[in-house]
Amino acid sequence: MGRSLGKGVSTPLSASGAGATGGAVACPALSRPCLARRQAGLTILEVLITLAILGLLLTIAGAATLEGARHEKVRGAVQEVRTLLARARIEAVKRNAPCQFALEPVSGTMQVIDTRGTSATTDDVVIASGRLPSQVALGTPDASTPVTLQASALGVYFAEFAQTGAVTGAGQVALRCGNACARVTVYTGGAMRAERWSGGAWRIE
């Protein structure tokens, strides 16, 4: 007689007394070589799919990180331009003398200068200075002119603030790093506005 395992199913006892509780019943359909081949195939496929998804995610993340870094770099540069413009205006009012913001486009050097009220440069006093960071250049998202301040005969752009805070040479300074663009605009009365290029339009920072 056999020992019952379920409805109408019995397993004969082995000579050593082992039945349902000892030893596994062999299944020809799932022999070890066949099962091993199936498991190996599934594992390789899963690894390939995982690697493909991982590569895609890393590419997307890398592009987003790079673009974000460019936006931050341009934003910081525009804020520095704005800070130096504001410094030139403050110094003109405080000193009761004209002061200039000057930008040399090739080197990216910026200066705030006390002109001493003369057209000569030999007696100029540099109050503050700065430089555009690497990879940031003058540029716009289209073909428009990036700098519309006044230009000297030497090719230096400048905006001159009077003792009242008003400015001669009002205009914009637009900067670009990759696809990231931002600009600062100074108006005749001395007011300033920083903007970034987003979605096909300039938006206030």
Overall pTM surpassing 0.75 (yes/no) = no
Q: What is the mean pLDDT of residues 187-192?
A: 96
Of 198, 180, 204, the residue nearest 69 (C-alpha): 180
Q: Which fold has domain 60-204?
A: minor pseudopilin epsh fold (3.55.40)
Distance CA 39, CA 22 (A): 26
Q: How confident is the model at residue 191 (pLDDT cuts 50, 70, 90)?
A: very high
- pLDDT the model gives residue 39: 52
Residue 28, pLDDT > 70, answer: no
Distance CA 107, CA 148 (A): 18
Residue boundaries of the structural domains of the chain: 60-204
- pLDDT the model gives residue 63: 59
> pLDDT higher for 138 or 24?
138
CB 175 within 8 A of CB 182: yes
- pLDDT the model gives residue 4: 42
Phi/psi for 48 (5° steps) reads -65, -45
What percent of the chain is helix, strand and coil (3-state, nearest 5)? 35, 30, 35
Q: What is the mean pLDDT of residues 57-68?
A: 66
pLDDT in tens, 102-139: 999 999 999 999 998 888 888 899 999 999 999 999 99
Of 109, 103, 90, the residue nearest 161 (C-alpha): 90
Q: How confident is the model at residue 38 (pLDDT cuts 50, 70, 90)?
A: low
Phi/psi for 157 (5° steps) reads -85, 145
